[in-house]
Amino acid sequence: MNNQIGDTDTDTDTNVSTDTSTDSQLGATTGVETSTTTTAGESEEQIRDEWTDYRFDSPAKLSVEDLNVWYGDDHALKDVSMEIPEESVTALIGPSGCGKSTYLRCLNRMNDRIKAARIDGSVELDGMEIYDPNTNLVELRKRIGMVFQSPNPFPKSIRDNISYGPRKHGEINKGLLARLFGRDDSEKEAELVERSLRQAALWDEVNDRLDDNALGLSGGQQQRLCIARCLAVDPEVILMDEPASALDPIATSKIEDLVTDLAEDYTVVIVTHNMQQAARISDQTAVFLTGGELVEYDDTDKIFENPESQRVEDYITGKFG
């Protein structure tokens, strides 16, 4: 399907150092359910199923079952199962290289774009299997949007950045033909641009220069533009990979407010390295630890105040990671 070439993961550099440790552990790791992988500073313990067995009342938006990912021989994600509730914020935390980005990319099949990646397991969106061979990737990625770690606006005007998705999906026609047949959607586009930018709390800063190039915006504005761009296709789920990692505290807090607001209508899954951020904005938190295992998954308050796992407690209190 995708013939894109090359490593498409922008985080890979940062993970290089953890690569070797994961490799060396592979030999030692045999069982999957009762793994004992550790890094220096981690105490040994067995992962119990009930730690990740988070129950909630609303229907699950996404449900992941026995998800495994290999990069070549590197087993990056091990038997992850979790259900993500609708209209909430789910935070994914864990030390660098534990597979958070990998997991996130599995949810909208962006891992398909990485040649070396092999994925096994099941992910269901509203009960529909997304790894079904007949899945329409365009449709899927329309429903599950993604915001990347470093802002990646297109080298186009702010307006064109926002209308890119809808235009590609044929919802906005501004071509010559459309104009000839009097079906020019400029008005619809203007509306969409304004709504998306307002939702992303960027409208006031850019409304007088929508035709300027998006690359001329500041990093924080670019990231909010990427969020707006993602909202413009009206997804149901929004995946965010450390969206604030390159931003200053003020821009970060704007994004955090935004995420909290978004959770009223959307299902947000967000990777973060910042524990306070996870505690502030998320409803439930999943902790991944070295070796690509999901160790604990529960209400955010529970995870931060009274985790079951000793390793999670150590990680949260900053003993390692």
Partner 1 sequence: MLSSVTAEVQDAILGEDPSEGALRTVGLSVLSLVASLLCIFLAPGFALPVLAAFVVVTAFGWRTHQAEIARLLTLVATILTVLTVTLITVYLFFSAFPAFTAHGIDLLTIPILESGPQWFFWLDFVLPTGETIWNPRAGVYSLIPLIWATVIVTTIAGLIAAPLGVLGALFIAEVASDRLREAIKPGVEILAGIPSIVYGFIGFKVLNGFIQKSFLDDGASFLIAGLVVGIMALPTVVSVSEDALSSVPDAMRDGSAAMGATSWQSMKSISVPAASSGISAAIILGLGRAIGETMAVAAILGAVVQPTVPLFDMFDASSTLTSAIAHNYGSATESTLDVLFVAGVMLFVIVAGMSVISQYVERRINRKLQGQQ
Ligand X SMILES: Nc1ncnc2c1ncn2[C@@H]1O[C@H](COP(=O)(O)OP(=O)(O)OP(=O)(O)O)[C@@H](O)[C@H]1O
Binding site for ligand X (CB under 6 A): 7, 9, 11-12, 14-15, 18-19, 22, 71, 74, 76, 94, 96-102, 114, 116
Q: Is 9 in the site for Mg ion (CB under 5 A)?
A: no
Distance CA 160, CA 306 (A): 47
- Measured from the CB atom, the residue of 59 and 219 that comes closer to ligand X is 219
Residue 256 interface partner, choices ligand X, Mg ion, partner 1, none, CB cut-off 5-8 Å depending on type: none
- Find the shortest distance in angstroms from Cβ 194 to partner 1: 19
Chain residues 10-69 in contact with Mg ion, contact rule CB under 5 A: 11
Read off the amino acid at residue 283: D
- Find the shortest distance in angstroms from Cβ 97 to ligand X: 4
Residue 76 interface partner, choices Mg ion, ligand X, partner 1, none, CB cut-off 5-8 Å depending on type: ligand X
Q: Is 4 in the site for partner 1 (CB under 8 A)?
A: yes
Q: Which residues are CB-neighbours of 228 under 8 A, at least 6 positions away?
A: 161, 162, 196, 197, 199, 200, 202
Distance CA 20, CA 30 (A): 18
Q: Is 169 in the site for partner 1 (CB under 8 A)?
A: yes
Q: Which residues are CB-neighbours of 254 under 8 A, at least 6 positions away?
A: 201, 220, 224
DSSP state, residue 111? G
Q: Which helix (H) or strand (E) holds 160?
A: helix 158-168
Determine contact, residues 232/163, Cβ cutoff 8 Å: yes
| Token pair recorded at residue 254 | 């704007």
* Contact flags string 229-268 toward partner 1, x per CB under 8 A: xx--x-----------------------------------
Number of residues interacting with partner 1: please give it, by CB under 8 A. 42
Compute φ and ψ for 285, nearest 5 degrees.
Answer: -130, 135
- Find the shortest distance in angstroms from Cβ 143 to ligand X: 22
Q: Is 128 in the site for partner 1 (CB under 8 A)?
A: no
Distance CA 138, CA 164 (A): 14
Helix (H, G, I), strand (E, B) or coil at 295: strand
Q: Exactly one of 37, 39, 52, 101 binds Mg ion (CB under 5 A); which one?
A: 101
Query: Any bridge partners for residue 77, and if so which?
Result: 69
Q: Is 159 in the site for partner 1 (CB under 8 A)?
A: no
Binding-site ranges for partner 1 (CB under 8 A) = 1-8, 10, 108, 110, 113, 115, 137-142, 145-146, 148, 150, 152-156, 164-165, 168-169, 212-217, 226, 229-230, 233
